[in-house]
Amino acid sequence: MNDSFITNWKSQLKKGTLTFIILNILHENEFYGYELIEQLRKHAKMDIAEGTLYPLMNRLKTEELVSSKWVEQGTGIPRKYYSLTESGKNILREMNSYWNHLQTITQKIIK
Amino acid sequence: MNDSFITNWKSQLKKGTLTFIILNILHENEFYGYELIEQLRKHAKMDIAEGTLYPLMNRLKTEELVSSKWVEQGTGIPRKYYSLTESGKNILREMNSYWNHLQTITQKIIK
DNA sequence: AATAGTACTTTGTATAACAATGTAATTTGT
DNA sequence: ACAAATTACATTGTTATACAAAGTACTATT
pLDDT value of residue B3: 58
User: Which residue from B24, B55, B60 is spatially nearest to B40, judged by alpha carbons?
Assistant: B24
Residue A3 touches partner B, C-beta closer than 8 Å: no
A58 CA to C18 C1' distance (Å): 16
Residue B9 touches partner A, C-beta closer than 8 Å: yes
**What tens digit of pLDDT does each residue of B91-104 get?**
999 999 999 999 99
How many whole angstroms separate alpha carbon A101 and alpha carbon B6?
Answer: 14
The residues, ordered by sequence, that sit 6+ positions from A50 with a Cβ below 8 Å of its Cβ are A33, A34, A37
User: Which residue from A20, A104, A6 is spatially nearest to B13, judged by alpha carbons?
Assistant: A20
Q: What is the mean pLDDT of each run of 10 residues along chain B (111 residues)?
A: 82 97 96 96 93 97 96 90 97 97 93 71
Phi, psi of A65 (to 5 degrees): -90, -25
How many CB atoms are located within 10 Å of the residue A55 CB? 10
Q: Judge whether B62 and B82 are in contact, CB under 8 Å.
A: no
User: Which residue from B72, B67, B69, B40 is spatially nearest to B53, judged by alpha carbons?
Assistant: B40
**What tens digit of pLDDT does each residue of A42-73 get?**
999 999 999 999 999 999 999 999 999 999 98
* Predicted confidence (pLDDT) at residue A75 exceeds the cutoff of 90: no
**What tens digit of pLDDT does each residue of B56-72 get?**
999 999 999 999 999 99
User: Which residue from B84, B85, B80 is spatially nearest to B27, judged by alpha carbons?
Assistant: B84
Q: Which residue is nearest to nucleotide C27 (CA to C1')?
A: A76
* Predicted confidence (pLDDT) at residue A2 exceeds the cutoff of 60: no
Q: In what order do the strands lie in the sheet with A79-84?
A: A31-32, A79-84, A66-71
Q: Give the minimum alpha-carbon distance from B79 to chain A in angstroms, rounded to a whole number.
A: 23
pLDDT value of residue B1: 39
Q: Which residue is nearest to nucleotide C14 (CA to C1')?
A: B8
pLDDT value of residue A74: 85
pLDDT value of residue A23: 97
pLDDT band at A80 (very low <50, low <70, confident <90, very high): very high
| Residue ranges near strand D (C-beta within 7 Å) | A 8-9, 12, 32-35, 50-51, 54-55, 57-58, 73, 76-80; B 10-11, 14-16, 18-19, 47-52, 55-56, 59, 75-77
Alpha helices in chain B (DSSP H): 3-28, 33-44, 50-62, 86-109
* Predicted confidence (pLDDT) at residue A111 exceeds the cutoff of 80: no
